Amino acid sequence: MSKHVDKLLLSNKVLLLQGPMGDFFYRLSKWLNSKNIECYKINFNGGDRFFYKSETNVYDYKGRLDDYSVWIEAFLIEHDIDSIVCFGDCRKYHKFAKIIAKKNNINFFVFEEGYIRPNYITFEQDGVNFFSNFLNYYNKSDISEKGNDLVTDINDVKNSYLKMVNSAITYYIFWVFFSFQYSGYQHHRNIRPIKELGYWILSGFRSIQNKLFEKNKFNRFLQQYSKKYFIFALQVHNDSQITIHSDLKSVEKYIVLVLESFSFHSDPSMHLVLKHHPMDRGYRNYSKLINKYAKQFKIEGRVHYFCDVHFPTLLKHSLGLVTVNSTTGIQALYHNVPVKVLGHALYNLPKLTNQYALSEFWKNPDEVDTNYFSYFRKELISYSQLNGSFYGISPWQEVYIKKNLKVIEKS
């Protein structure tokens, strides 16, 4: 259970900025209210406003991004806010808020998708992903005496993909309809709302198409190439993991890099699977790019491209996984699959991931130190993970109800 919740519950007044698309932040506010914590909410577009149903302490920011720092600092001081909570620390408005929070000694908390999946979400103070303070907390010493039991006392959070899709489509519809009221809003993905809506609709069509045609193709692939392939896990093209926490800043550039390295340094009998990210399904299709460079590097027939296949099954039949910095790396380690990281990731540590050059990884991916990984995983869950879902239930909140923490009492 994330150690940062205890600190949040010491707050008197919490300001909620943008949350995940949907009603999670509204539900969070009700839970915080039940702990005698007063919540404030700032909405930046019509989608934010639609999903936050409360009429109490709700404010709209309709100004320009350039004026936001001055406005938010005045707001924090006027309302005596002692904690800020947001989803994602790399969004434009959240980056400014983090700077102002640090200047005024205000706690800054961040939700993010779970490092450990499924059944977890991430919650940390100060930053997430490579901005996390986890490595300052984590004891990287020899843990051979610490045992290798995995954390098992978690609940199924009943995550609903349908609720996520419906929330996204609804969010973008209300963003479009009320964009005239929030004319100064700048989205973190730099895409106009009508295009975002179109991408999500396209994603739905491609999902149906993949369900109809990918399964049989995938089964045939496994029968023929089990334990004869590596995986390159693609990521959302404009996610901060790529645009901020990587050197090349582009999924396309990483695709070319990996294909070229694989062509020159892998055994000719080996194959490579490029796994598309489902959340990027409607935004990108890399078929033409992959085919172009597979042909150029003379590895046609050894390169395969899937999207909606069962990822644990793909992992279990593989020899290793290459990633920029995706949390699929942690998932691969869980399944004893060696991992090579190309970007900046908090789990890219000696004894966890392959520390040699990519060219060597194809020849010698090494083995996963399962004892060390189990210790790392337990520490990561203790530091940053909550048993819950943005589009399901939140068992972690029930834990705090049952414990009746004394830290709720204000000093």
The Cβ of residue 272 has, within 10 Å, a number of other Cβ atoms equal to: 24
Give domain limits for the chain.
4-167+382-408, 225-348
Confidence check: pLDDT of 137 > 60: yes
What does the pLDDT read at residue 149? 55
CA 26, 29, 33, 34: dihedral to nearest 10 degrees? Answer: 80
Strand-pairing partners, residue 107, are 83
Per-residue confidence band for 152, with pLDDT thresholds at 50, 70 and 90: low
Cis peptide bond N-terminal to 20, omega within 30: no
Give me the pLDDT at residue 151, please.
58
pTM of the model: 0.90
Q: How far, in Å, CA of 49 to CA of 42, rounded? A: 9
Contact 268, 233 (CB under 8 A): no
DSSP state of 355: -
The structure tokens 């300001």 sit at 15
Per DSSP, helices labelled H in 45-112 are 46-51, 68-78, 92-103
Quick one: pLDDT at residue 173? 92
For the ranges 70-79, 194-203, 236-245, the lowest mean pLDDT is seen at 194-203
- Reference 61, options 148, 186, 166; nearest CA is 186
- What one-letter code names the amino acid at 69? S
Higher-pLDDT residue of 73 and 409 is: 73
Query: Using one digit for the tens of pLDDT, what is the confidence trace for 340-393?
Result: 999 999 999 998 999 999 999 999 999 999 999 999 999 999 999 999 999 999
Tell me 151's DSSP state.
P
Asked if residue 93 has pLDDT above 60, the reply is yes
- In this prediction, residue 411 has a pLDDT band, given cuts at 50, 70 and 90, of very low
Give per-residue pLDDT as tens, 167-189.
998 999 999 999 999 999 998 87
* pLDDT at residue 387 in the model: 97
Mean pLDDT of 178-207: 87
Q: Which residues pair with 300 in a beta bridge?
A: none
Whether the predicted pLDDT of 190 surpasses 80 = no
Long-range CB contact pairs, 50-56, < 8 A, 24+: 50/170, 50/171, 50/174, 51/21, 51/22, 51/23, 51/25, 51/26, 51/167, 51/170, 51/171, 52/16, 52/23, 52/25, 52/26, 53/23, 53/26, 54/26, 54/29
Contacts of 190-193 with CB under 8 Å at 24 or more apart are: 190/238, 191/238, 193/45
| Same topology between domain 4-167+382-408 and domain 225-348 | yes
- What is the second-level CATH architecture of the domain 4-167+382-408? 3-Layer(aba) Sandwich (3.40)
* pLDDT given for residue 406 in this prediction: 46
Buried b (16+ CB within 10 A) or exposed e, 351-378: bbbbeeebeebbeebbebbeebbbbbbb
Which band of pLDDT confidence, cut at 50, 70 and 90, is reported for residue 410? very low
Cα distances (Å, whole numbers) of residue 12 to 5, 9, 101, 116, 216: 14, 8, 15, 30, 55
Measure the CA–CA gap between 198 and 207, rounded to whole angstroms.
14
Angle between helices 287-296 and 251-265 (to 10 degrees): 30
Place of tokens 């600092």: 73
For residue 84, pLDDT over 70 is answered with yes
- Could you tell me which residues come within 8 angstroms of residue 99 by beta carbon, excluding any fewer than 6 positions away? 69
Residues 200-205, mean pLDDT to the nearest whole number = 88
What is the predicted pLDDT for the residue at 2? Answer: 81
Model confidence at 150: pLDDT above 60 = no
Mean pLDDT of 146-152: 54
Q: What is the pLDDT of residues 249-301, one digit of tens each?
A: 999 999 999 999 999 999 999 999 999 999 999 999 999 999 999 999 999 99
Average pLDDT value for residue range 322-335: 97
What are the distances in angstroms from CA 356 to CA 44, 260, 353?
Answer: 45, 17, 9
Percent of the chain whose predicted confidence (pLDDT) is above 90: 83
The residue ranking higher by pLDDT, 90 or 140, is 90
**What does DSSP say about strands 58-60 and 83-87: parallel, antiparallel, or unpaired?**
unpaired
Pick the CATH number of 225-348 from 3.40.50.2000, 3.90.800.10, 3.40.50.2300, 3.40.50.300: 3.40.50.2000
- The pLDDT score that the predictor gives to residue 405 is 46
How does pLDDT run across 4-59, given as a tens digit for each residue?
999 999 999 999 999 999 999 999 999 999 999 999 999 999 999 999 999 899 99
Mean of pLDDT over the chain: 92
